[in-house]
């Protein structure tokens, strides 16, 4: 495993936290960075909403102190709108607060399979039109490059039965993309069956820019296998980091040929609490508590006694009640 460079930005060991709607927010990125994630990508941000000055959209696109290097992921299908959004983000004009920084990259979402996204021609729907991909990437590069900000893309294997990722990757590279992230499933496959490593290998052979593989990485062994089999330059970890930010520490230890010690039950529980506190601090008690429920469930999954604890968490209305339930679980293992 080797570092990937985007100009002055380094992606340590070629490992990044992948964008995940409803999950890879500021709180999660902060926790993952504390455990070794050196590069991350925001949740997807609507380029169209950015044009209307939506405050919630601005919060999603914020690059805050300590949360760097960070790529801001944009979704949309109109080249002009995407370019305007990329320029605003790269220049810092769309800053959410005075402490915001320019992103390391603008990442173009060409992989989201959600029906509400693709029905509008966004996300994975872009895989149907490689000419449009080239126009969008080219427009974003022209808008972001003067500010020293790279443009990257995250794509899928293809649109349903058409596995055209190599062609899409070549179009993106020709338009100026600096890095390609490829999820080894088509839009139709969503998150099953197992990721197809062959399509990642095909993309790697098709382009000269760094290629990062994505899908089904839940351990250092999974990451190493993907790199060995496909020849890709790095890996993007999404669902494998949910409730398991230590995966970045594990991969880092593997890269350095060091022994890795998994977290104890108590460490898992205390980290879950820290994560929830970050959510509440960032989004307020009501929203933070609501969103913390799923994260608590991910952190305690597989621990004996977790089902009863999870039930208490789901019925809790305050963060303190959630913390009490998780601490009680942790005390069983002291």
- Low pLDDT (below 50) residues in the chain: none
The reported pLDDT for the residue numbered 91 is 87
> Cα–Cα distances in Å, from 234 out to 39, 182, 273?
12, 11, 30
The reported pLDDT for the residue numbered 53 is 79
Instruction: Sketch out the chain's domains with CATH numbers.
Output: 4-255 (3.20.20.70), 265-331 (1.10.1200)
The reported pLDDT for the residue numbered 52 is 87
The reported pLDDT for the residue numbered 87 is 94
Burial of 98 (0-12, 13-18, 19+ CB in 10 A): exposed
Contact between residue 177 and residue 152 where contact means Cβ atoms under 8 Å apart: yes
CA distance 46 to 172: 20
Contact between residue 269 and residue 326 where contact means Cβ atoms under 8 Å apart: yes
Q: What is the DSSP string of 287-323?
A: HHHHHHHHHHHHHHTTSTTHHHHHHHHHH--SHHHHH
Catalytic member of 32, 112, 140, 269: 112
The reported pLDDT for the residue numbered 328 is 95
The reported pLDDT for the residue numbered 97 is 52
- pTM score of the predicted model: 0.95
Active site residue 112: yes
The reported pLDDT for the residue numbered 96 is 53
The reported pLDDT for the residue numbered 287 is 96
The reported pLDDT for the residue numbered 222 is 98
Minimal CA–CA distance to 106: which of 66, 64, 141?
141
The reported pLDDT for the residue numbered 28 is 98
Distance of CA 170 to the CA centre of its chain: 22
**List of residues 6+ apart from 189 with CB closer than 8 A:** 157
């Amino acid at each position: 495993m080797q570092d990937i460079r985007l100009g002055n930005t380094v992606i340590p060991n070629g490992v990044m936290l992948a964008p995940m709607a409803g999950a890879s927010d500021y709180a999660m990125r902060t926790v993952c960075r504390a455990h070794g994630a050196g590069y991350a990508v925001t949740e997807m941000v609507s380029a169209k909403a950015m044009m209307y000055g939506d405050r919630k959209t601005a919060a999603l696109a914020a690059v805050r102190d300590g949360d760097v290097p960070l790529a801001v992921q944009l979704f949309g299908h109109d080249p002009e709108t995407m370019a305007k959004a990329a320029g605003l983000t790269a220049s810092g004009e769309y800053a959410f607060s005075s402490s915001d920084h320019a992103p390391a990259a603008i990442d173009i979402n060409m992989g989201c399979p959600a029906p509400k996204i693709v029905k509008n021609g966004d996300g994975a729907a872009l895989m149907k039109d490689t000419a449009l991909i080239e126009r969008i990437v080219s427009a974003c590069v022209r808008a972001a490059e003067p500010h020293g900000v790279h443009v990257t893309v995250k794509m899928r294997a293809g649109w349903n039965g058409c596995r055209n990722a190599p062609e899409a990757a070549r179009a993106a590279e020709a338009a100026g993309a600096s890095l390609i992230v490829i999820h080894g499933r088509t839009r139709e496959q969503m998150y099953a069956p197992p990721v197809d490593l062959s399509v990642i290998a095909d993309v790697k052979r098709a382009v000269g820019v760094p290629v990062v593989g994505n899908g089904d990485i839940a351990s250092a062994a999974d990451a190493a296998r993907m790199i060995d089999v496909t020849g890709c330059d790095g890996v993007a970890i999404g669902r494998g980091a949910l409730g398991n930010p230590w995966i970045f520490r594990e991969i880092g230890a593997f890269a350095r040929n060091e022994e890795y010690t998994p977290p104890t039950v108590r460490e898992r529980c205390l980290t879950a609490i820290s994560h929830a506190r970050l959510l509440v601090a960032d989004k307020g008690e009501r929203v933070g508590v609501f969103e913390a429920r799923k994260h608590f469930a991910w952190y305690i999954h597989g621990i004996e006694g977790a089902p009863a604890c999870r039930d208490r968490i789901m019925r809790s209305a305050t963060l303190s009640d959630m913390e009490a339930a998780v601490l009680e679980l942790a005390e069983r293992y002291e």
